[in-house]
């Protein structure tokens, strides 16, 4: 009987003892806290990169639209200036393409006049544009930017990466269209080409 009393007493003491409770709770909460912390950091970085992709697309379109004619060297400078916006994030996953579109006055279809960059579009191919920009006879500078964002800590978000992309449309500012002169640098003397 005395032995059973001692066992009951020890069990009561053990049940009331809270010395290790904080450590057990911390061990259970720590993984959840770490996932939330790294998830917040990665999500914030992803939003920042997405915003920079939008700025790169707008800058590339804006720089090109300020010219009356562009050569390969000009486009290379525009690409380099635009990609500088990605700092401090890596510029390697960025793919940029700049094109000039002509909106057919009869069909309001936007057709590619010229295209340069990572994934140039075929000349005379059609591009879907917003209805507000479907103005017959108008030219548009169209920039496309794609970026594969890979999170630093892959176990919080997809380690394969997330594709971020954006486009921008700008009307030429100095002339009706922006000529592409290639590497020759010779500006055509005729009017803006149409397809």
What does the pLDDT profile of the chain (195 residues) look like in tens digits?
A: 677 777 777 777 777 766 667 777 888 888 888 888 887 888 888 899 999 999 999 999 999 999 999 999 999 999 999 888 998 888 888 999 999 999 999 999 999 999 999 999 999 999 999 999 999 999 999 999 999 988 877 655 566 788 999 999 999 998 889 988 876 655 554 446 544
Cα–Cα distance for residue pair 183/142, rounded to 1 Å: 21
Q: Is residue 2 part of a domain?
A: no
Q: Which two tokens stand for residue 36?
A: 């939330």
Residue 24 lies in a domain: yes
Opening angle at CA 26, ends 23 and 30, nearest 5: 145
Nearest to 181 by CA among 80, 127, 113, 102: 113
The DSSP letter of residue 110 is E
Question: Contact, 94 vs 147, CB < 8 A?
Answer: yes
The answer as to whether 193 is a domain residue is: no
Number of domains the chain contains:
1
Query: Does a structural domain hold residue 174?
Result: yes
């Amino acid at each position: 009987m005395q032995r059973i009393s001692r066992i009951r007493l020890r069990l009561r003491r053990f049940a009331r003892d809270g010395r290790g409770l904080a450590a057990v709770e911390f061990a259970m909460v720590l993984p959840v806290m770490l996932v939330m912390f790294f998830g917040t950091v990665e999500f914030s970085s992803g939003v920042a990169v997405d915003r920079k992709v939008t700025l790169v697309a707008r800058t590339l379109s804006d720089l090109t639209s300020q010219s009356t004619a562009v050569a390969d060297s000009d486009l290379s400078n525009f690409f380099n200036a635009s990609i500088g916006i990605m700092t401090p994030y890596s510029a390697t996953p960025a793919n940029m393409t700049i094109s000039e579109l002509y909106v057919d006055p009869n069909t309001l279809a936007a057709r590619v006049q010229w295209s340069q960059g990572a994934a140039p579009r075929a000349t005379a191919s059609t591009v879907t544009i917003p209805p507000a920009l479907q103005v017959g006879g108008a030219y548009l500078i169209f920039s496309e930017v794609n970026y594969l964002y890979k999170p630093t800590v892959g176990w919080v978000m997809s380690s394969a990466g997330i594709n971020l992309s954006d486009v921008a449309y700008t009307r030429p500012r100095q002339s009706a269209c922006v000529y592409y002169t290639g590497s020759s640098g010779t500006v055509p003397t005729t009017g803006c080409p149409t397809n």
